[in-house]
Structure 1
Amino acid sequence: MPAVRKVLVVGAGTAGTATAICLAAGGVEVDLIDALPDVGALGSGITLQGNALRVLRELGVWERLRLLGYGFDSIGFRAPTPQAPLVAEVNDSRTGGPDLPAAFGTYRPVLARLLVDRAAEAGARVRFGTTFTAIDQDGDGAEVTLTDGSTGRYDLVVGADGIRSAVRRAIGIELTTRDIGIEIWRVVAPRPASVTRTEIINGGPAYIAGYCPTGPDSLYAYLAEPPRHRGDLTPAETVDVVRELAGSYGGPWERIRESVGDPSRINFARFQTHILDAPWHRGRAVVIGDAAHVAPPTLAQGAAMSLEDASVLGDLLLEHETVDDQLWEAFTTRRLERVRTVVGASVQMCQWLLDGIRGDVPGLHNRVAAAVSHRA
């Protein structure tokens, strides 16, 4: 019998929906709630590494997703000159196994919708526009009050509610999130036929100018730069900023720049990071995904780490008969060092950019690939 019979998952993002799928498919009663009024995801692209695809296949999502994105097995590097010639190409590691692409680009809202639909299909009760106001724990579970005034008793509460997790605060975990000192603009654009993989330019006015195909006719492009302290920008001004940055780069960037015009297809964010030391639980509540760890996107492993958290937590809750110290020790053993490796390497990549140092990027990539190539 599973260690839990009824679970509340707070947050219907990647970590939360994956947890709901794992547990509901295993016969656990799952309530999945999210404060947003509907399926929410930033309207930009996402790169999923092979280890993320491995979990998505286990969740029953990959076969649907693979038709709605673009897979590839290498990375190209171009020079920061007007012609942007290709200076290197590297075969990427197939961290999910030989039968999955090394990497896969798709549109974030597409992935979000597939995961929510699969959670409902597995039997989870999904409620948007709902969150909690109180979590009152005892030795056997938690009584949770929701914003609609209803209450429910759960064997476990899973906080998968993001970088500013309300569950984390409610259960008394303090965690400081640090700004890295890099800002990123992401834009959805048509895909030139020449773009068949991620390609990156290091240098110029941005630390990184890159793009990733997300489908037969689409890509997302990104420009990571130092903080400019521009203040609040109007939608038209955001278009001007992205077009100006993109105008410094050649090759496919010329076509990408021409297509930038709709501010609703532009997303701005700051690189941030934190990592929670063990334990990630307090009593009968646990935090996972971005609520526990955030890696800047330099290695494109954020979604993979969230998916792995959910998979490991689901496995343990279904395999063990009780929620006890042995279960949490097994969770820590399988997650903490792996996450530390990925977050540390992602932050190191940022630090090299900030310091203007040409670090051992291939060596770092290889170390991370070796760490995540086996199932979590």
Structure 2
Amino acid sequence: MKVLIVGCGITGSALGILLARAGAEVDIVELEPKWSTLGSGITLQGNALRVLRELGVWEQVAAAGYAFDSLGIRAPDGTLLFEGQDHRTGGHDLPATLGMDRPDLQAVLLAELRRAGARISLGRTVQALEDTGAGVDAVFDDGTADFYDLVASADGIRSRVRTMLGIADTPQPAGMGIWRVHARRPGSVTRTDLAYGGPCHIAGYCPTGADTLYAYLVEDARPFEDVRAEDKAAVMRELAAPYGGAWKEIAEDITDPDRINYTWFESLLVARPWYRANTVLLGDAAHACPPTVAQGAAMCLEDAWVLSQLLIERGGAGPDVLEAFMERRFERVRTVVDSSLQITRWQLEGARDADVPGLMGHVAALVTELP
């Protein structure tokens, strides 16, 4: 089996590792010309860690990140209102949650991808795809061409391949924006704590290593033209100022605008099916959601694991394989996307009777089951 993967982020890397290890001939093209050392932190729940263990990189991920099993809810002044054990959705032998820097995760996956024997081309992507019935003729932006049994599009929320396939679904803003910053970890921070209320909808943080964390502040979306690089640190410190507890130390470290990024919450759920003939969308190219249930990366990793499992078990691609992929993925992903958006709507509306713990518990129970 010869497979082209478009995009070498979390989804594409995971799929490439699993297929190349099984003996497939794997080419990966990535539009970015070099590996970025930038990027926010990432929260990986147990079902994401379960896939990373299947990839053979759990030990490296555990060493690079920070694992924990509880969640805290705080008042804006820092008073602890609730703490509880989080669900171990990956099984009893994996932690409930692990935080790490996204570039560190990418580095771990890239090293394993190379060990597995996949061919990676940076600064290169597809220009055109033509399905022949037996497979796909791919034309690249450097003028070269090749034939593949399957093309897997993992090129992100603004997927070019999705457009090439004539799929009209596009990401939609959810009404919120999020400020994220890399900062030093105060000794008191040993898990994710979330504060609701104050000037922001959510003020939270997640430890990512022995002395690091990423912190985030969620507000109503502001126009991107109002977010100037030179003002980022001052704006984020101003938003953080009313929050107590560990936020006092975190705010002192919000000084470098290059460690801050601001993005909108967006959502996407491509209607069934996510494939056209022998080209399939997966990961953020097919679905994305606000990070309110922290399942975005997990859904991407699960996509890669399920698709690779089906391709390997059935000895190749074909409409039966891709339809089986849809059967195992669509409803599970839809529940996660819908739940993420529901929490976002409750926060925007200031709903006082919102059952956020109940909804998050429902999602946790769902994703504890194997996909």
Distance in 2 of aligned mates of 1:230 and 1:54: 36
DSSP-derived class of the 2:208 partner: strand
8 A contact 2:278–2:318 mirrored in 1: no
Distance in 2 of aligned mates of 1:159 and 1:178: 20
Residue of 63, 71, 75 corresponding to 2:71: 75
Q: Indicate whether 1:292 and 2:282 are aligned.
A: no
Q: Indicate whether 1:174 and 2:184 are aligned.
A: no
1:145-184 equivalences in 2 (<5 Å): 145-184=139-178
Q: Indicate whether 1:360 and 2:360 are aligned.
A: no
* RMSD, matched Cα: 1.2
Residue of 111, 119, 122 corresponding to 2:113: 119
Q: Indicate whether 1:60 and 2:56 are aligned.
A: yes
Residue of 355, 360, 365 corresponding to 1:370: 365
Q: For each residue in 1:260-298, what CA deviation from the matched residue of structure 2 results, as whole angstroms up to 9, or x when unmatched?
A: 111110011100001012111101100000000001100
Shift of 1:233: 3.6
Distance in 1 of aligned mates of 2:16 and 2:222: 40
Give 2:34's aligned residue. 38
Distance in 1 of aligned mates of 2:168 and 2:30: 22
Distance in 2 of aligned mates of 1:33 and 1:41: 19
Give 2:94's aligned residue. 100
DSSP-derived class of the 1:375 partner: coil
Shift of 1:322: 4.5
Q: For each residue in 1:16-56, what CA deviation from the matched residue of structure 2 results, as whole angstroms up to 9, or x when unmatched?
A: 11110110011000001100012247521110000000000
**Number of residue pairs matched by the alignment:** 370
Q: For each residue in 1:345-365, what CA deviation from the matched residue of structure 2 results, as whole angstroms up to 9, or x when unmatched?
A: 111110110110131111111
DSSP-derived class of the 1:231 partner: helix
User: What is the letter of the counterpart of residue 34 of structure 2?
Assistant: D
Shift of 1:326: 2.3
8 A contact 2:41–2:99 mirrored in 1: yes
Q: For each residue in 1:226-250, what CA deviation from the matched residue of structure 2 results, as whole angstroms up to 9, or x when unmatched?
A: 1233724432211110010011101
Distance in 1 of aligned mates of 2:200 and 2:247: 13
Give 1:189's aligned residue. 183
Distance in 2 of aligned mates of 1:210 and 1:341: 24
User: Please, what TM-score do these two structures have when normalized by structure 2?
Assistant: 0.98
Distance in 1 of aligned mates of 2:117 and 2:310: 19
Q: Residues 354 and 164 of structure 1: is their aligned pair in 2 closer, same or farther, counting only changes over 3 Å?
A: same
DSSP-derived class of the 1:162 partner: coil
Give 2:215's aligned residue. 221
DSSP-derived class of the 2:225 partner: coil
User: Please, what TM-score do these two structures have when normalized by structure 1?
Assistant: 0.96
Q: Residues 228 and 329 of structure 1: is their aligned pair in 2 closer, same or farther, counting only changes over 3 Å?
A: closer
1:300-311 equivalences in 2 (<5 Å): 300-311=294-305
Distance in 1 of aligned mates of 2:217 and 2:96: 23
Distance in 1 of aligned mates of 2:228 and 2:130: 44
Distance in 2 of aligned mates of 1:205 and 1:272: 21
1:286-365 equivalences in 2 (<5 Å): 286-358=280-352, 359-365=354-360
Q: For each residue in 1:63-119, what CA deviation from the matched residue of structure 2 results, as whole angstroms up to 9, or x when unmatched?
A: 1110011000111011113xx111101210000001111000000100011112211
Distance in 2 of aligned mates of 1:35 and 1:218: 30
DSSP-derived class of the 1:256 partner: helix
Distance in 1 of aligned mates of 2:222 and 2:228: 15
Shift of 1:330: 1.4
Q: Which stretch of structure 1 is more off in the superposition, 217-226 or 320-329?
A: 320-329
Give 2:45's aligned residue. 49
Shift of 1:171: 1.4
8 A contact 1:42–1:267 mirrored in 2: no
- Which structure 1 residue ranges, 5 or more long, are not aligned? none
DSSP-derived class of the 1:225 partner: strand
8 A contact 1:41–1:112 mirrored in 2: no
- Which structure 2 residue ranges, 5 or more long, are not aligned? none
Runs of 4+ in 1 over 3 A off after TM superposition: none
Shift of 1:126: 0.8
Distance in 1 of aligned mates of 2:193 and 2:223: 28
Residue of 225, 235, 253 corresponding to 1:231: 225
Give 1:274's aligned residue. 268
Distance in 1 of aligned mates of 2:39 and 2:317: 38
